[in-house]
Amino acid sequence: MKHLLAAEGLDRDTVTDLLDTADELKHTLLGREVRKLPTLRGRTVITVFYENSTRTRVSFELAGKWMSADVINVSAGGSSVGKGESLRDTALTLTAAGADCVIIRHPASGAAHRLAHWLADTPAAVVNAGDGMHEHPTQALLDAATMREKLGSLDGRRIGIVGDVLHSRVARSNVHLLTCLGAEVAIVAPPTLLPSGIGTWPVTVSHEIDAELPSLDAVMMLRVQAERMHGGFFPSAREYAIGYGLSEARAALLPEHAVILHPGPMLRGMEIASRVADAPNALVTDQVANGVHVRMAVLYHLLASEGAESA
Amino acid sequence: MPETVLLKGVRRYGEGEPVDVLAAEGVIAEIAQGITPPEGADVIDAEGHVLLPGFVDLHTHLREPGREDTETVATGSAAAALGGYTAVFAMANTDPVADTAVVVEHVRRAGEAAGLVDVHPVGAVTVGLKGEKLAELGTMAESAARVRMFSDDGLCVHDPLIMRRALEYSRALGAVIAQHAEEPRLTVGAQAHEGTQAARLGLAGWPASAEESIVARDCILAAHAAARLHICHVSASGTVDVLRWAKQRGTQVSAEVTPHHLLLTHDRLDTYDPVNKVNPPLRTGADAKTLREALAEGVVDCVATDHAPHAEQDKDCEWQAARPGMLGLQTALSIVAETMVRPGLLTWRDVARVMSERPAEIARLADQGRPIAEGEPATLTLVDPDARWTVRGAEFASIAANTPYEGMELPARVTATLLRGRVIARDGRIR
């Protein structure tokens, strides 16, 4: 693996390897006074964020620092159109300056793929930290790590993804990763928030959340972005909350062992009721904690494991 | 000095026995076997080559004025001549927009100065392509540029009342309105054909219905106005159904398809390389198949390139930041050969129809798309049907190099182009 651009195309062995590494790293660091491994000493990791995201950027930064990499954060405003340096030039500049790994968050779908294309002749690795509406592979990995921790193997498990699948890179990455791990994915959304090509995805699609909840082992509530609320995708925030929000009454329809995930930031009272978000089976903070370990595992596999350069 | 050119051993429309064709004083002087070359004649040995009337492109972006860093009327004319074209229509979405007599006359004069192919400026339908107010169509029609085709191409004349008025008004000018059919409310932020690939790649969808609904509306408006309507770059199979229906009920509607919509599909989008980004977008294999059949059947009248040069920095970037469009003039014939002639959907005689005769009729060009017969203008394109060649964008006459066919091996090649008896391109070189 030279880059991590998408969850699509990852095979089960690779994913399992990454998740196992994340587990090992988590246990290695557990109870340590100084959370620092020497693994990536002398390696330079640069995060380039063209969108604001405290959560993901901090997570990657910690992942690098806990493995002793030099981590530099570049926050770039806006897209490349008419706003100064092109993405290509930025990428070439950063690698020329010595980046071993470029972690990119960008509003354009495919930006990480383009970056990898431009850097093909360099040894630098590219990690996709979210590209437009396309993918967010490390989010799917941390979701899988979190569910695996509570549920054990995901093989044969039924996982619900509820909400704005059309615009969600989290949903796309999760569909690929979860099906790769043998889980069934149940999508629940209003028809306006489903991509028109979803019929070819390896998922079931429903508009009735109440009918799905009793059979789920986990449910993932997607964030409803403000611009969608005013984009005519549904009549009102209230109607969305009534139709698709995870209320307390709805959460009670889940089997007892089932867990609740949310990629954050949450809109309490919109897609998830406040008490549900704070319930013991809601794993939102576990997701954040596991995020660092999963990203450490990704950096380890790209930069430190044997054959990282040649694979 | 008028040239005398003798084409040896050509097959007219790819049919019948090889003959010699003598062009003198701008016309076809003689067609016979074994013509003795007159003194000083330029003899082109074209044994087995196919002779066609010069191609007419109803849809070309020559980028002048405004983006001369990507194409000029002169470089675009050269690309056209090398691609077998003898007349091109230069779209109005320049900077400034070709919405006044001054701009269209500039383009016309630049075409004459380049001296290769006939460059016909297309006038904008609305001022500044804004879709709000009719441009001075009459003044442009009466100007030295003699504009007979109007289009806001790149943008749709989306307001039904403006479109109705444009259609009605154009009747008095003997002009045709060429519509870029794209309902803008259905394509806000659109990046790719709305379907499986856009869903997978996370690209905002450009639904076929945004094209089909405008074509249906405009066919109805054109029938009501008894006006002539031309549909640019048909991309969706549903549009073909609408066109068939409109033609059956006698609507004066014609339509073009681009070479890229005949050959390429959204399957190419996996790499996010914006060289494949075009508007309307590449659609499904089923759409491409329907378009090929519609062109063979005549429901879609002709091939037009939508030749769209773009600077490297506007293409070698993120997908959604990239400009839509691709080069087409120097590959059109080969793509038509690949998609239509080789599978037996069109004969070379039919190629003459879809690349020369029908576009000339739609644009009402009296001296293009003429029969290959004695006394007719010697405006001709010579094609080696057995040639194979590899596309190299950097070798094209265009300043820009944004071809989606880079590295592809294609069949058939234009070996000579004649405009009114003068050789304007030969063996890949401008004359």
pLDDT digit string, tens, across residues A176-222 = 999 999 999 999 999 999 999 899 999 999 999 999 999 999 999 99
Helix pair angle (A169-180, A12-29), 10° resolution: 100
CB neighbour class for A30 (10 Å; exposed up to 12, middle 13-18, buried from 19): exposed
Domain identity same for A275 and A179 = yes
B265-287 average pLDDT score: 98
Q: For A30-41, write each residue's pLDDT tens digit.
A: 888 888 999 999
Q: For B330-372, write each residue's pLDDT tens digit.
A: 999 999 999 999 999 999 999 999 999 999 999 999 999 999 9
Domain identity same for A122 and A200 = no
* CA-based max dimension of chain B: 66
Domain identity same for A298 and A261 = no
Fold agreement between B4-50+375-399+410-430 and B54-362: no
Judge whether B192 and B201 are in contact, CB under 8 Å.
Answer: yes
- Number of C-beta neighbours around residue B37 at 10 A: 14
B146-154 average pLDDT score: 98
User: How wide is the angle at C-alpha B39 spanned by C-alphas B35 and B45, nearest 5°?
Assistant: 50
Radius of gyration, alpha carbons of chain A: 19
Give the side-chain half-sphere CA count within 13 A for B72: 12
pLDDT score at A197: 87
pLDDT score at B313: 95
A172: pLDDT confidence band, cut at 50, 70 and 90? Answer: very high
Which of B194, B209, B284, B318 to probe the A interface (max A CBs under 10 A)? B318
B287-315 average pLDDT score: 98
Domain identity same for A147 and A255 = yes
User: How wide is the angle at C-alpha A203 spanned by C-alphas B285 and A284, nearest 5°?
Assistant: 130
Q: Is A51 helix (H, G, I), strand (E, B) or coil?
A: coil
Domain identity same for A127 and A202 = no
E-assigned strand segments in B123-213:
149-150, 176-179, 192-193, 205-206
| Closest to A296 (Cα-Cα) out of A116, A38, A105 | A38
What sign does the dihedral B373-B374-B375-B377 (CA atoms) show? positive
**A6 lies in some domain:** no
Rounded Cα gap, residues B31 and B373, in angstroms: 7
The CA distance from B211 to the nearest CA of chain A, in Å, is: 17
B321 in contact with A at a CB cutoff of 8 Å? yes
Provide the residue count of chain B. Answer: 431
| Closest to B215 (Cα-Cα) out of B197, B198, B195, B236 | B236
Rounded Cα gap, residues B356 and B119, in angstroms: 15
Judge whether B191 and B198 are in contact, CB under 8 Å.
Answer: yes
Nearest Cβ partner for B205 among A132, A196, A200: A196
Write out the CATH class of domain B54-362.
alpha beta
Domain identity same for A74 and A101 = yes
The CA distance from B209 to the nearest CA of chain A, in Å, is: 12
Rounded Cα gap, residues B410 and B407, in angstroms: 9
What sign does the dihedral B65-B71-B75-B79 (CA atoms) show? negative
B18 in contact with A at a CB cutoff of 8 Å? no
In whole angstroms, how far apart are CA B23 and each of A204, B31, B86, B330, B376?
A: 68, 9, 16, 24, 10
Q: Which residues contact B41 (CB under 8 A, 6 or more apart)?
A: B4, B5, B6, B22
Q: B4-50+375-399+410-430, what's its fold?
A: Urease, subunit C; domain 1 (2.30.40)
pTM of the entire structure? Answer: 0.95
Task: Verify whether the Cβ–Cβ distance B318 to A197 is below 8 Å.
Answer: no
Provide the residue count of chain A. Answer: 311
B393-410 average pLDDT score: 98
Rounded Cα gap, residues A45 and A64, in angstroms: 7
Q: Which residues contact A104 (CB under 8 A, 6 or more apart)?
A: A47, A48, A49, A50, A111, A112, A115, A126, A127, A128, A129, A131
Count up the domains in chain A and report the number: 2
For residues B414 and A225, the model is more confident at B414
Rounded Cα gap, residues A273 and A260, in angstroms: 12
Q: For B54-86, write each residue's pLDDT tens digit.
A: 999 999 999 999 999 999 999 999 999 999 999
pLDDT of residue B46 exceeding 50, the answer is yes
pLDDT score at A34: 86
Task: Verify whether the Cβ–Cβ distance B318 to A114 is below 8 Å.
Answer: yes
Q: For B229-255, write each residue's pLDDT tens digit.
A: 999 999 999 999 999 999 999 999 999
Domain identity same for A47 and A132 = yes
pLDDT of residue B321 exceeding 70, the answer is yes
Domain identity same for A55 and A92 = yes
Give the side-chain half-sphere CA count within 13 A for B284: 14
pLDDT of residue A80 exceeding 80, the answer is no
Q: What is the average pLDDT value for chain A, to the nearest integer?
A: 93
CB environment B288-306: b (16+ within 10 A), e (fewer):
bebbbebbbeebbbbbbbb
Which chain A residues are within 8 Å of B319, Cβ to Cβ? 108-110, 114
Domain identity same for A50 and A184 = no
- Is residue B306 annotated as a catalytic residue, yes or no? yes
Structural domain boundaries of chain B? 4-50+375-399+410-430, 54-362
Q: Give this complex's ipTM.
A: 0.93
pLDDT of residue B2 exceeding 70, the answer is no
pLDDT of residue A84 exceeding 90, the answer is no
pLDDT score at B11: 98
Domain identity same for A70 and A149 = no
**A183 lies in some domain:** yes
| Closest to B326 (Cα-Cα) out of B218, B233, B228 | B233
Domain identity same for A102 and A241 = no
Which of A85, A89, A113 to probe the B interface (max B CBs under 10 A)? A113
Nearest Cβ partner for A200 among B196, B271, B273: B196
Give the CATH number of the domain where residue A193 resides. Answer: 3.40.50.1370
Domain identity same for A143 and A283 = yes
Domain, as residue range, for A142: 138-287
Which residue is listed with tokens 């100064």?
A84
Nearest Cβ partner for B202 among A114, A132, A200: A132
Q: Is A101 helix (H, G, I), strand (E, B) or coil?
A: strand
Task: Verify whether the Cβ–Cβ distance B198 to A113 is below 8 Å.
Answer: no
**A311 lies in some domain:** no
* CA-based max dimension of chain A: 56
B140-148 average pLDDT score: 98
pLDDT score at A166: 95
Task: Verify whether the Cβ–Cβ distance B317 to A87 is below 8 Å.
Answer: yes
Helical ranges in B233-314 per DSSP H? 237-248, 259-263, 285-297
Q: What is the average pLDDT value for chain B, to the nearest integer?
A: 97
pLDDT of residue B208 exceeding 60, the answer is yes
Task: Verify whether the Cβ–Cβ distance A110 to B272 is below 8 Å.
Answer: yes
Nearest Cβ partner for B320 among A108, A172, A196: A108
Rounded Cα gap, residues B374 and B300, in angstroms: 30
Task: Verify whether the Cβ–Cβ distance B199 to A114 is below 8 Å.
Answer: no
Q: What order do you get walking across the sheet with A44-49 strand by strand? A: A70-75, A44-49, A101-106, A125-131
pLDDT of residue B30 exceeding 50, the answer is yes
Q: Is A257 helix (H, G, I), strand (E, B) or coil?
A: coil
**A32 lies in some domain:** yes
